[in-house]
Amino acid sequence: MKNFLALAARVSIRIGNGNRTKFWKDPWCSDEPLVESFPLLFQCASDHEALVGECYSISGDSVLWTPSFQMNLFDWEVEKVLNLLTCLQNQELDYSLKDKWHWKWNSDGVFSVKSLVANLSRRGVPDFPDRQVWNPNSPTKANFLVWTMALNKCLSKENLVRRGIQVSDLSCSLCGSSAESTDHLCIHCPYSTQLWNHFLNSLKVCWVMPRSVKELLCCWQLMGLSKKKKAVWKMVPIVVVWSIWTERNTRIFSNKILSPEELIQKSVGKLISWVSVDADFRNYNVSNVFLSSS
C-alpha cells in the first residue's frame, strides 16, 4: 500500500471538463486531494463523490465554482470556503477536453516501465534499508526478524501494550532499568551496547548510534573496506539484533541468562558461520578479517 501511494504521487491529473475526476478525492487541484487539504469542509459537503465537472458552471468566459454543502455554514467554515475558492480560482480548465492522467517521470506524460526503472535506480529507495535487511547470506528467519525490528513491529513489551495486551512489568528484559521498546532493546540497552561495542572495536570503527533500528540500518555503510571486511560489516547488525532478541526470549521463556561475554562469544560464532556461506570465504579463516587493517 505504501509503495502504491508512493507511485500515485508520481501521477498528476490534467483537468479538462472535469467529468472523470472526483472533486474531493482525486489529487487534481494540488498534490493532495481536497479532502486532505480541507477535511472539515469535506464533512459538510453535499456529495462526497461529486465530480469536478459537477462543481462549476460557465458564465461567459468565466468559470464559476459552485461546490455545494449540506447545511448553513458557521463563520469559521465560511472562511475555509473562501480559502477553497481561492485555490479553485487558480485552476485552468479546458472544458473542450477530457481529463487526463499525467505521468510525471516522462516528458510526454505517458507511463512507461523504462521511465519508472530509470528513476527508481537514480533516486534509490530512500525510506527503507532493504539492502541491509535482506542480506542473502544470513538465514531468512534472521532477515525477517531484522525487518520487523526496523518496522518496530516486533513483540517488545511496549508493542504488546500498544496492541492492548496487559503487561505487568514493562522493564527491559535485559537490563531491567528502562522500558522495553524495540529501539532500547536493540540499540540503547547497556547490555546490548556491550555487544555492539565488541564488534565495532574488533573492526576498529568509531560509530555513533542513531535513535532507531531503522536509522541504524539506513546509515550502516563504510567506505573503503576490503570485500571480505565489507561482508562481515554488513552481517554485524543482523547477528547483533538476532542475538539480542533470542537472549531476551530465552530469559523470558526459559529463565536462562547469558552474561554479556557469553553472548559476545556466541554471536561471534554465529557471524562466522553465516558469513562463511559466501563463496569468497571458502577456505578462509573469517577471524582474520577482525585483524586486518581495512
Q: Does 209 bind Zn ion (CB under 5 A)?
A: no
| Gap between the Cα atoms of 180 and 110, Å rounded | 50
User: Nearest Cα to 239, choosing from 289, 184, 195?
Assistant: 195
Smallest gap from residue 268 Cβ to Zn ion (A): 21
Smallest gap from residue 207 Cβ to Zn ion (A): 19
For Zn ion, which is the closer residue by CB, 148 or 156?
156
For Zn ion, which is the closer residue by CB, 15 or 187?
187
Binding mask 156-195 for Zn ion (x = CB under 5 A): ----------------x-xx-------------x------
For Zn ion, which is the closer residue by CB, 189 or 272?
189
Q: What secondary structure does DSSP assign to 208-272, as a single string?
A: ---SSHHHHHHT---SS--HHHHHHHHHHHHHHHHHHHHHHHHHHHH-----HHHHHHHHHHHHH
Smallest gap from residue 202 Cβ to Zn ion (A): 22
For Zn ion (CB under 5 A), the number of binding residues is 4
Residues 95-134 that bind Zn ion (CB under 5 A): none
Work out the number of other CB atoms within 10 angstroms of the CB of residue 14: 15
For Zn ion, which is the closer residue by CB, 245 or 281?
245
Smallest gap from residue 54 Cβ to Zn ion (A): 59
Residue 137 cell numbers, joined: 547470506
Bridge partners (DSSP) of residue 171 are: 179
Binding mask 52-91 for Zn ion (x = CB under 5 A): ----------------------------------------
Smallest gap from residue 205 Cβ to Zn ion (A): 23
For Zn ion, which is the closer residue by CB, 28 or 242?
242
Report how far Cα 191 is from the mean position of its chain's Cα atoms: 28
Residue 171 cell numbers, joined: 522493564
Contact 141, 46 (CB under 8 A): no
Smallest gap from residue 25 Cβ to Zn ion (A): 46
Give the dihedral of Cα atoms 281, 282, 283, 286; nearest 10 deg.
Answer: 20
Contact footprint for Zn ion (CB under 5 A): 172, 174-175, 189
